[in-house]
């Protein structure tokens, strides 16, 4: 089983969502999950935002989920020097048993992203930035490219975002 996970922060609260799927080309998930976080700490200025890390783990534990791969809206590494980001911290927290693929629509502020991290899912659209831990970068890029969706962002990633925002049922 694979999961797409996302988080949406709103004021002092947050909602974590996950969409389970079996096949990379799936157009719908096999099951949806959500977890509401009642109180969210403010992010300290200039710090890497790792607030979602315990929430992702809490959702996995609450439902007994042990996915082989997690796809996140965000970064695993911030740059080519593999500076750890949320995805890498999640991979490490899970003991390295779950591969994590980060997909971002833009580069991390203040970094230079080499072409090796970029994929195009649609002609004439900006690239998606793909980083990974526990899976080869080339394999991760191929998996994201194979995901269902005619647009830039894969369908299941859009669904996880809608669930996190409360715009789709969990």
pLDDT score for 23: 97
pLDDT score for 125: 75
Domains of the chain as residue ranges with CATH: 2-164 (3.30.2170.10)
Residues 67-92 have pLDDT tens digits of: 999 999 999 998 777 889 999 999 99
In contact, 88 and 76? CB cutoff 8 Å: yes
| Helix/strand/coil for 118 | strand
Nearest in space to 153 (alpha carbons), one of 57, 82, 71:
71
3-state helix, strand, coil in the chain (%, to 5): 25, 25, 50
**Per-residue pLDDT in tens (0 to 9) along the chain, 170 residues:** 999 999 999 889 999 999 999 999 999 999 999 999 998 888 766 566 788 999 999 999 999 999 999 999 999 998 777 889 999 999 999 999 999 999 998 766 555 666 778 878 776 678 899 999 999 999 999 999 999 998 889 999 999 999 999 998 88
Question: Where does the chain show beta strands of DSSP type E?
Answer: 2-10, 13-21, 31-37, 69-73, 99-104, 118-119, 128-133
Q: How many residues does the chain have?
A: 170
Strand ordering across the sheet containing 128-133: 31-37, 13-21, 2-10, 69-73, 99-104, 128-133, 118-119
pTM: predicted TM-score of the whole model, two decimal places: 0.92
CA-to-CA dists, residue 12 to 8, 39, 53, angstroms:
11, 5, 17
């Amino acid at each position: 089983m694979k999961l797409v996970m996302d988080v949406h922060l709103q004021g002092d609260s947050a909602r974590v969502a996950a969409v389970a799927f079996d096949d990379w080309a799936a157009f719908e998930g096999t099951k949806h999950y959500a977890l509401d976080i009642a109180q969210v700490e403010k992010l300290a200025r200039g710090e890497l935002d790792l607030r979602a890390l315990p929430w992702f783990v809490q959702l996995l534990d609450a439902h007994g989920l042990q996915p082989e791969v997690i796809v996140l809206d965000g970064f695993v590494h911030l740059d080519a020097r593999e500076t750890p980001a949320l995805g890498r911290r999640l991979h490490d927290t899970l003991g390295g048993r779950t591969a994590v693929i980060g997909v971002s629509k833009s580069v991390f502020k203040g970094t230079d992203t080499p072409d090796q991290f970029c994929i195009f899912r649609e002609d004439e659209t900006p690239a998606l930035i793909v980083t990974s831990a526990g899976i080869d970068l080339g394999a991760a890029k191929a998996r994201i490219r194979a995901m269902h969706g005619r647009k830039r962002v894969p369908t299941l990633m859009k669904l996880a975002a809608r669930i996190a925002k409360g715009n789709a049922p969990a």
